[in-house]
Amino acid sequence: MDKFSFLNAVHAQLIDDLYQQYLKYPDSLEPSWKSFFQGFDFALENYGEEAGYSGGTQASAPVQATAQAAAQGQIPEEIEKEFKVLNLIEAYRTRGHLFTNTNPVRERRHFEPTLAIENFGLSKQDLTKKFSSAKETGMSGPATLQEIIDHLQQIYCSSIGLEYMHIGNVEERQFIREWIHVNSNRPKLNADEKVEILEKLNQAVAFENYLHTKFVGQKRFSLEGGESLIPALDQLITRSSELGVDEVVLGMAHRGRLNVLTNIFGKSYKQIFSEFEGKEFEEDVFSGDVKYHLGSSKKIKTAKGEEVAINLTPNPSHLETVAALVEGICRAKVDNIYKDFGKVLPIVIHGDGAIAGQGIVYEVAQMMTLEGYRTGGTVHIVVNNQVSFTTNYQDARSSVYSTDIAKVTESPVMHVNADDVEAVVHAIRFAADFRAKFGKDVYIDLLGYRKYGHNEGDEPRFTQPNLYKLISKHPNPREIYKDQLMKEGIVSSEKMKEMESSFKKLLDADFDASKEIEKNALDLFMEEAWKDFPLAARDTALNPVDTSFDLTKLKELAIKMSTLPADKNFIKKVSRLFENRLKMIENNQLDWALGEWLVYATLLSEGQNRSEER
């Protein structure tokens, strides 16, 4: 075994950093480190190669000196404890996400071993001692062990739990580490930004409450318990537009879809209310719960003044099928319009049960870096209600998290308490920044709850009585954030009353206006892209269409495709296959394979860059 193997990369980096600091400012080091490096310099100066610091290893001379001293039992106790503190820091990075405050309604599971200092050979007597290892956590200089622990708790174990140590790319890990060290992994928000977030939360909460009172008993797949998704999406679009994104394609299932349509895509409340009345559509082509499947396309201006095209993909089913559509649409836009993966952002919103349980999730995720399918990174947001349909998460999956699919693509994951909306915004901004930098997927696990049953007619207490006893007493995210901002002096009770009252008046006015709508109108998805393909009426859709193609040109295409280059050598089986095809063409015969080839060939010869499903 390599005699330096006990020194992992973190230890070695610290030793090198401290030695460079010693060379420049020797008196700035802790006495134990200064004394150690003085001894190292003395040995190097007086004994040279005899000191045993060889160039045949990747470890630097100071690291080798430390390893040799350790092997001989000559490392001072203070330096030995530095390594123990480094091991503690590394444990927070790798396992801190297991000990967070990310669950808004109940205690988390207990994991062993914990991050107690005794598990790392440290004691309470060490809490007041200063350690240079503090700089590895983003602190400016040496700090006491207690200060280091408090700092690590804030970064790794508060409302955000971060998984990133499974990522093999060193540059990506370093980027993440530096990003979360800023402001101890908390956002820096000014008063205007906080009020803006509160307004989006108010829209989300008030809209759900209004539907609940006006359309009693109707299923609406409410977002209640996960309303922070709305400010999250708003911030994701704003941040991404600043980073160069011109168009967003979003896919999601039923839960929260109406809230997203109104409060992100700007669909009028009166349209939603009218659809709840069950009125017919002007286009007589629908049946069933149409409002949960419709798409939408809009151009919006973000809070920062950037114009962005946003698209909500029509939902083909109620779970994960839409993810493949989102990726396909984004890739087509990159290939045919933007020529730049940074210009189009795919967002997929998952349920916790669906992302952990459906095979298509893996099928789509593993295409992330494939040349023919990649889209420059997708932001995945899991609206995690902890019970999927009715099942406790511990009975629903074998993995610790529903987002463990992220480890397949070495993508970072942030688990966030959905009640802490500022932490949610922070995580979303990280997702935008990481995706823009590395073109990889990012997963945000938005840990909340579902206030009612799967749909509002279900009774969740039948299967989860204890959990729903807690949920029934739990305040919504708007109330939590409102109280926080009032304590900070950013909003007053009068301001809140005005905000809630004015939005209620808007909803009332739109509710009354919805009564005047005779038939509902369909918002066309990506209308600009489909303008050359008008929607046909039923009586004309089946009219005969001339699909004939000139026979002489068809034969020319067939011969061209079936003729191998004369200057190349091919295996006999391939040569015979192509010879037989030429004979078929000569005898005016076709098989299915050649027929399909000719479908593509005729389309391409007419300038149609599209493939047809057989």
Kindly report, residue by residue over 104-113, the tens digit of the pLDDT.
Answer: 998 888 999 9
Q: With 0-12 CB in 10 A as exposed, 13-18 as middle and 19+ as buried, what is 130?
A: middle
Name the pLDDT band for 6 (thresholds 50, 70, 90): very low
Q: Which ranges of 358-492 would DSSP assign to H, the alpha helix?
A: 359-365, 421-438, 465-472, 477-487
Mapping DSSP to helix (H, G, I), strand (E, B) and coil, where does residue 611 land? coil
Residue 97 has pLDDT above 80, yes or no: yes
Question: Residue range 213-231: average pLDDT?
Answer: 87
Mapping DSSP to helix (H, G, I), strand (E, B) and coil, where does residue 547 land? coil
Question: Residue range 434-463: average pLDDT?
Answer: 87
**Selected residue with higher pLDDT from 587 and 521:** 587
- Domain spanning 9-159, CATH architecture: Orthogonal Bundle (1.10)
Kindly report, residue by residue over 386-416, the tens digit of the pLDDT.
Answer: 887 778 777 788 999 999 999 999 999 999 9
Name the pLDDT band for 368 (thresholds 50, 70, 90): very high
Name the pLDDT band for 2 (thresholds 50, 70, 90): very low
- Domain spanning 191-514, CATH architecture: 3-Layer(aba) Sandwich (3.40)
Domain range list for the chain: 9-159, 191-514, 551-605
**Selected residue with higher pLDDT from 285 and 125:** 125
**Cα angle 115, 121, 123; round to 5:** 80
Residue 123 has pLDDT above 50, yes or no: yes
Question: Residue range 528-552: average pLDDT?
Answer: 84
The values of phi and psi at residue 199, to 5°, are -65, -40
Kindly report, residue by residue over 150-183, the tens digit of the pLDDT.
Answer: 999 999 999 999 999 999 999 999 999 999 999 9
Residue 4 has pLDDT above 90, yes or no: no
Residue 7 has pLDDT above 50, yes or no: no
User: How many Å apart are CA 382 and CA 320, to the nearest integer?
Assistant: 12
Kindly report, residue by residue over 79-94, the tens digit of the pLDDT.
Answer: 778 888 988 999 999 9
The values of phi and psi at residue 162, to 5°, are -115, 130
Question: Residue range 440-468: average pLDDT?
Answer: 85
Residue 311 has pLDDT above 80, yes or no: yes
Residue 1 has pLDDT above 60, yes or no: no
Contact 11, 4 (CB under 8 A): no
Residue 148 has pLDDT above 70, yes or no: yes
Q: Is the peptide bond before 113 cis (omega within 30 degrees of 0)?
A: yes
